[in-house]
Structures are given as structure tokens and as C-alpha cells.
């Protein structure tokens, strides 16, 4: 597996196609959304992970003050992928750590998408991060409301007779 730094002209189309078909891709991972934040002061550090010329994952990231964040312009970011083996997830984390070391970055902060956005529930990436000494420093609360066919009638208040 190899890690390639994202290049706008070369990768935008394949990046977005991959995000839209991935297990945990969201609007926050699309390049159009991330480009909205170009005026902010950070160096883009987004990556594509390839294995035998196939995209296995993308990583939304930026460098601010010697720290790699996933991504400061979005609510969450980090690795976007389809379900893979633990070994593959672990290899991607190692590649990211090695990149950070070559750039002499002090830390990596990843805010992954909440599991409610996953098509198929899978915690292998979180375990790969934990296995390589990443720590959970804060939790965000996520909620969702299932939108059913008859949502309007379930939300209507009964009209009281006066």
C-alpha cells in the first residue's frame, strides 16, 4: 500500500467518486465542501491510499501549528473507506504516522465520522488507531431521527376543541 498526497487537478474527480461510494463517506469529505475553507490559514494534507492502483481510502487533513488535523474545515474527517481487513487499516495508520514523522509534526488529531453515517458498522479503523497508541481525548454526541413515510402525521399535534 502507498500513500499519495492529494492533488486538486489530478485527484478531485476520483476522490469525490470514492467518497460517494464509500462505507463512511459524507458531504464533509467531498472536495467541494472542503474547498469552501480555502481562505483559512492551513496547509492541506489530504491523502489517498492506494493498493495495486486501487483506492483503498482517502484521508481529509490539514496542517496547523505543526499538527495534522482531520480536517479543521469540517465537523469531522479522517479516513474514508470501505470495509477492509484490520491489517489494511493498520497499514494506513502506519503510513500516516510515518508521513507525520517525515514532516516533523508533533501530533495527529483525527475526528472520525460518527458510526450513524456508516453503511455497514465497522470499528476496525478505530481499533487500528488505538492499537498504535492514539487516544480518545473527547467525545461528541450524535443523534439521528429516522425519516419514515408517514412522518407528517406522527408529528401533527391534535387540535383541541375550544
Torsion of CA 91, 101, 138, 16, to 10 degrees: -60
Cross-sheet strand order for the sheet of 2-5: 2-5, 47-51, 54-60, 78-81
Domain with 116, as residue range(s), is 2-155
pLDDT above 90: percentage of residues in the chain: 44
Q: Say how many domains are in the chain.
A: 1
Residue 161 lies in a domain: no
Residue 160 lies in a domain: no
CATH of the domain at 28: 3.40.630.30
pLDDT surpasses 70 at 29 = yes
pLDDT (0 to 100) of residue 77: 81
Residue with cell 479543521: 72
Residue 94 lies in a domain: yes
What is this structure's pTM? 0.81
CA–CA–CA angle 86, 114, 59 (5° rounding): 60
Label residue 99 by pLDDT band (50, 70, 90).
Answer: very high
**CA 50/CA 71 separation, integer angstroms:** 20
pLDDT surpasses 60 at 159 = no
Residue 162 lies in a domain: no
Amino acid at each position: 500500500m502507498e500513500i499519495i498526497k492529494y492533488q486538486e487537478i489530478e485527484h478531485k474527480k476520483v476522490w469525490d467518486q470514492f467518497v460517494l461510494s464509500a462505507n463512511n463517506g459524507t458531504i464533509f469529505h467531498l472536495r467541494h465542501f472542503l474547498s469552501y475553507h480555502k481562505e483559512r490559514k492551513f496547509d492541506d494534507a489530504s491523502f489517498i491510499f492506494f493498493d495495486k492502483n486501487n483506492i483503498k481510502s482517502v484521508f481529509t487533513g490539514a496542517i496547523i501549528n505543526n499538527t495534522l488535523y482531520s480536517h479543521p474545515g469540517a465537523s469531522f474527517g479522517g479516513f474514508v473507506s470501505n470495509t477492509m481487513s484490520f491489517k489494511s487499516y493498520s497499514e494506513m495508520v502506519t503510513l500516516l504516522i510515518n508521513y507525520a514523522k517525515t514532516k516533523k509534526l508533533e501530533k495527529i488529531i483525527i475526528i472520525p465520522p460518527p458510526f450513524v453515517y456508516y453503511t455497514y458498522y465497522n470499528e476496525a479503523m478505530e481499533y487500528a488507531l488505538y492499537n498504535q497508541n492514539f487516544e480518545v481525548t473527547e467525545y461528541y454526541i450524535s443523534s439521528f431521527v429516522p425519516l419514515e413515510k408517514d412522518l407528517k402525521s406522527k408529528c401533527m399535534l391534535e387540535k383541541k376543541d375550544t
